[in-house]
Amino acid sequence: MTRTARFFRIGLPLTLYGIFLLLPFYWMLVTTFKERQELLVSPNPFLIYHWTLEHVVGLLTQTRYLHWFGNTLLIALGATLLSVSVSYITAYAIIRLRFPGSKPFGTAIFLCYIVPPAILFIPLGEVLVKLGWFDKLWALIPIYATFLVPFCTWLLIGFLKSIPRELEEAGRVDGASNLLVMRKIILPISVPGLITAAIFSFTLSWNEYLYALVYMSSPDNKTVSVGMTSELISGDVFQWGQLMAGALIGVLPAIVVYFFFVEYYVAGMAGSLKD
Amino acid sequence: MTRWLDSPPVLGILLSIPAIVILGGLLAYPLLLGVWLSLTNTTLGSAGQFVGLSNYLAIAQDPTYRGAVFYSLFYTFFAEVGKLALGLTLALIVNQRFRGYRTARALMLLPYVAPTVLSALAWLWLFDPQFSAISWLLTKMGLIHEYINFIGAPWPARISLIVVNIWRGLPYFAIGYLAGLQAIPHELHEAAQIDGASGWEAFRRITWPLLLPITTILVSFSSIFTLTDFQLIWTITRGGPTDATQVFTTLAYQKAITGGQLGEGAAIAISPVVLMVIFAWFVMRSVREERSVE
């Protein structure tokens, strides 16, 4: 390919995609560090002429943002731990133990995966009220497990299938129980699959909005997304500097986790589509 | 006793109990409860009575609900077309070898990874009627003469939301298609080249047919979640202006949570299920075919 042909086939389209896909992130970054006056009047809004930390400081000292951040982190970690453990033993049971009904059970789990929260949030709220879980922060952990367990089990089923059966048969011959084989032989080899499941669980929990919005009512029990949209946006005056600072800081954990494990993430996405 | 516990059927069922409890109690039961709620006149604070299909009949008469059905379908259709076209194009670009192709592949997933509400807030600010940076740029380029009212008028708002949905979802299509492209054996393209096929012909006769199964999976999956989208629309327009961008989920939220009409809200939330079952059937079928091929 000539240089011009390469430019039109790769360089140019990639630049256009880059502008479109990264624009909101760039906009968060620029707004966060720009002086208040400059947000409204500026010779070029894409540049920063006067840097400031006032929005970040204001966000962290005048609002409950740090508290919401802690809530989100706690819920995301808790939901990840619960979901990955439950999914691992479920996937193991379905693929390796093959009890009566394990096939329809696997299909049922897959069907749970495609039930969107949008059709569940009203009746699930009723259930939470009856259980006394309404407006309890920790309740989000088992609630998030309802969409994480189907996804992770599905992912881990695909992963466990690729582990040769001979490995556990060898263990069985040596007299190890099924439980011991699951813990000592299969678990260590499953680590890459478990990492993939954990990253997805963490980012999906960090992203969740509808359940947290409906079920958490006191300001101290909110997550970052809910707190920002319900407490920081009030009336017609938007504090764009603080809002974008909050968005930027809130986006970071998901992005950091993603970049650390990008290979696992991509493999997981491709895998969840295929099997 | 331990022997009995260790037998595969017993241990298998024991290990499945946590998942059954979570999914049974917090997913399957609420799902059935939702169907029941939609057949009652329950409101926030008062248990309702069975009223048959009257909630469904009431919403069918309601112009706001009809508007929401229209926009849900409009939104889903055009967002899916956009994600498919732009996602496939992006996959074809990053499937080539060039300097920095790994970085490009990693960066392109950012919209999908970042929390939707937070990036939607950035879009909301980019759509500001007075201070929009997009309008500023287009004015400087001489393409427009006055700032665009992105979300203040019905049609611009409807289109703007579709653009944001495409923005968020196209990486998912791109990564799916990239995996699909990499599974196509090189020999096929080499053979086509030897036979003198043009790039477009090779794409239409070899690449595209081989990408059809993954297309079905991607579109059906994505349609289920686009049809019931909430976060993006709620953050940017809240269903406005004057209900122009109301969809199933935002309307159900307003009826049930803001208005306290749980029965009617449940009926609105459940009404798209018929369409979702069709999409789900497509997913199940293509996943099975894929399995039997392997």
What residues contact residue A26 under an 8 Å CB cut-off, 6+ apart?
A46
CB-nearest partner of A97 from B8, B33, B276: B8
Residue of A149 and B149 predicted with greater confidence: A149
DSSP conformation letters of B158-193: HHHHHHHHHHHHHHHHHHHHHHHHHTS-HHHHHHHH
Round to whole Å and give the CA distance between A179 and A272: 27
Round to whole Å and give the CA distance between B88 and B90: 5
For residue A180, what pLDDT is reported?
Answer: 81
Q: Confidence band (pLDDT; 50, 70, 90) for B294?
A: very low
What residues 2-31 of chain A have any CB closer than 8 A to a CB of chain B? 6, 9-10, 13-14, 17-18, 20-25, 27-28, 31
Round to whole Å and give the CA distance between A246 and A233: 12
Q: Scanning every residue of chain B, which has its alpha carbon at the shortest distance from the alpha carbon of A38?
A: B131
Q: Confidence band (pLDDT; 50, 70, 90) for B293?
A: very low
Round to whole Å and give the CA distance between B171 and B162: 15
Looking at domain A76-223+255-274, its CATH architecture is: Orthogonal Bundle (1.10)
**Domain chopping of chain A, boundaries:** 76-223+255-274
Per-position pLDDT tens, chain A of length 275: 677 888 888 889 899 999 999 999 999 999 999 988 888 888 888 888 889 898 899 899 988 999 999 999 999 999 999 999 999 999 999 988 888 888 899 889 988 988 889 999 999 999 999 999 999 999 999 999 999 999 999 999 988 888 888 877 777 777 778 888 888 888 888 888 999 999 999 999 999 999 999 999 898 999 999 999 988 876 666 788 899 999 999 999 999 988 888 888 887 777 666 54
The answer to whether the Cβ–Cβ distance between B276 and A124 falls below 8 Å is no
The answer to whether the Cβ–Cβ distance between B131 and A39 falls below 8 Å is yes
Q: CB A102: neighbour CB atoms within 10 A?
A: 18
The answer to whether the Cβ–Cβ distance between B280 and A114 falls below 8 Å is yes
The two three-digit tokens of residue A251, written as one number:
């986006």
Round to whole Å and give the CA distance between B38 and B269: 9
Phi/psi of residue B48, each to 5°? -95, 175
Round to whole Å and give the CA distance between B2 and A251: 49
What distance in Å separates residue A206's CA from the closest CA in chain B? 7
Do B120 and B235 meet the contact criterion of CB atoms below 8 Å apart?
Answer: yes
The sign one gets for the Cα dihedral A16, A20, A25, A31 is: positive
Which of A266-270, B135-139, B242-246 is the least confident region? A266-270
For residue B230, the chain A residues in CB contact (below 8 A) are 118, 209-210
Integer CA distances (angstroms), A5 to A1, A8, A12, B190, B203, in order: 6, 5, 10, 20, 18
Q: CB A245: neighbour CB atoms within 10 A?
A: 25
For residue A250, the chain B residues in CB contact (below 8 A) are 115, 118
The answer to whether the Cβ–Cβ distance between A21 and B107 falls below 8 Å is yes
Summarised one tens digit per residue, pLDDT across range B14-31 is 888 999 999 999 999 999
Do B88 and B173 meet the contact criterion of CB atoms below 8 Å apart?
Answer: yes
For residue B290, what pLDDT is reported?
Answer: 58
The answer to whether the Cβ–Cβ distance between B214 and A273 falls below 8 Å is yes
**Domain chopping of chain B, boundaries:** 62-293
A94 touches B at CB < 8 Å: yes
For residue A110, the chain B residues in CB contact (below 8 A) are 284
Summarised one tens digit per residue, pLDDT across range B56-111 is 999 999 999 999 999 999 999 999 999 999 999 999 998 888 888 888 888 899 99
The answer to whether the Cβ–Cβ distance between A122 and B266 falls below 8 Å is yes
Instruction: State the average pLDDT over residues B162-178.
Output: 94
How far is residue A111 CA from its own chain's centroid? 20
For residue B97, what pLDDT is reported?
Answer: 82
Do A233 and B101 meet the contact criterion of CB atoms below 8 Å apart?
Answer: no
For residue A234, what pLDDT is reported?
Answer: 67
Phi/psi of residue A34, each to 5°? -105, 145
Enter the ipTM: 0.91
- CATH superfamily name and code, B62-293: MetI-like (1.10.3720.10)
